[in-house]
Amino acid sequence: MTVPTPNKWRFCLALSYALWGFAGDSPLAAKPSRPANDKPNFIIIFIDDMGYGDIGPFGSTRNSTPHLDMMALQGHRLTSFYVASPVCTPSRAALMTGCYPQRIGLQSGSGHIVLFPGDHHGLHPNEVTVAETLSKAGYTTACFGKWHLGDQPPFLPTAQGFDEYFGIPYSNDMWPQLRRFQCPQLPLLQNNKVVDIVRDMKDQAMLCRRFTEAATTFIKEHKEQPFFLYLPHTFVHSPRLASSAFMAEAKTVEEAQIEEVDWSVGRILDTVREEGLAENTLVLFTSDNGPAGGLSAGPLRGRKGSAYEGGHREPTIVWWPGTIPPASTSDEIITALDIHPTFAALAGTAPPIDRIIDGHINTDIILGHANARTPYKCFFYQQGGKVAAVRAEDWKLFKNGELYNLRRDLGETNNVAEENADIVKRLEQLFIDFAKDIQINSRPVGIFENSRTLTPRPGIDGKDAFIPTLKLPLRN
């Protein structure tokens, strides 16, 4: 197992990479193991609850992120990358399918804004994920980390296009220590079987490292064929604790976790280089929603759960040496909805054509092509499981009547609705049109009858130990 490198040494390491060049010519570079014109590999590193202002390439001076700094120097920053929801489950559903959460019935869980242990709702088996699309195109696929799209058998990653899975099926705070809810033990799954339990904070602290090591092993074992690796970390979602090497140097646990995430990024990029895959691998780093407590949205208003920019706009970097221009930036709109159709296009295939996919093939922007322009006419924001705002060009209108010009007012501090009645009227029609479309063209959420939790609630015997959490009364 690789031991995390402390801050000062990681900084020197990242600096040495930058000095060796931007095209993968580092001391760790190796000859390609497959032809560079073969189907590209795809890696998504998806952080939980990280804000726009939490990493160096997006302005953080509090957190040391040398590997992400280097990734940005060698790659492409997307400064207007949006997720489809400011909370976990619907955001992840959109990433996997390319559809707004309302389109597929996963704008919320069955009785909460996100799915809970044993929920009978989940991602419908008839939905087609990016993993399924790439699998049909000859890719080997794996998910290591937090899933949160349903913990019943037909909803798990191995039933949704992934060949391998190791991780937790929902949020890491959904365990017996969660005060309001009666949660079962927090399971770690290998494919569809429980193989371990996250029992305490020491176990929580190991999750980033365990998922990273699973990911690097997968890369090494599948370097001879195209692969799709999805690494949805549990960090930096609470409860928070990092490995001892990071806790010893950091001033706060949030800082420690962000710096361990940075270490994880370094391990992934190092492995890609070492295995000779850099020129044939696209790596995308982003977060599932805006910052939770103790984390930063930077210049943005709003946080996790909010329809303001801080809830949806995520710190995003794309890296593909030799294909993506180094040290480049785009402020054009691109969203997590685009991952499915864009990755499919780059792989020489396409999502299913028998249903509406809301995302766009956004190849020019994700690859940093000069003068690339967004295909988006509008983008819809969510709050509380409902559409709450819409952006069209530089204008953003909330359903409550607030209007902002994001080009002039990124922090959404100056409501200009009164002096722009024509803009308000035009954007109000977008809400109406979207609601009509969803009413006609939505698809059902997955339902699993007689659902049960994967692990028992401690201290309870028999079948009552496996009652879904949301069917139990809240604690006082």
Q: Which residues are catalytic?
A: 88, 148
In the block, residue with structure tokens 């202002």: 53
Both tokens of 159, joined, read: 């039933």
Q: Which stretch of DSSP H or E encloses residue 390?
A: strand 386-392
Please, is 333 exposed, middle or buried when counting C-beta atoms within 10 Å of its C-beta (0-12, 13-18, 19+)? buried
Both tokens of 271, joined, read: 């492995």
Q: Where do the H-state alpha helices sit in 290-396? A: 309-312, 339-346, 363-366
Return the bridge partners of 282, or none.
42
Length of the chain: 476
Q: What's the distance, CA 150 to chain centroid?
A: 16
Both tokens of 321, joined, read: 């040496």
Distances (CA, A) of 385 to 110, 299, 308: 11, 25, 14
| Nearest to 356, CA basis, from 125, 100, 151 | 100
Distances (CA, A) of 43 to 67, 144, 174, 241: 16, 11, 27, 25
Please, is 375 exposed, middle or buried when counting C-beta atoms within 10 Å of its C-beta (0-12, 13-18, 19+)? middle
| Nearest to 350, CA basis, from 71, 102, 130, 44 | 130
* Residue 298, Ramachandran bin (φ over 0: left; ψ between -120 and 50: alpha; else beta): left
Q: Which amino acid is residue 102, in one-letter code?
A: Q
In the block, residue with structure tokens 């322009």: 373
Detail the DSSP E strand segments found in 73-128.
76-82, 121-122
Distances (CA, A) of 130 to 16, 26, 96, 114, 244: 35, 32, 6, 21, 36
Both tokens of 264, joined, read: 């994880």
Q: Which amino acid is residue 405, in one-letter code?
A: N
Please, is 475 exposed, middle or buried when counting C-beta atoms within 10 Å of its C-beta (0-12, 13-18, 19+)? exposed
SS3 content of the chain, % helix, strand, coil (to 5): 30, 20, 50
- Rg of the chain on CA atoms, in Å: 21
Both tokens of 281, joined, read: 């691998």
* Residue 105, Ramachandran bin (φ over 0: left; ψ between -120 and 50: alpha; else beta): left
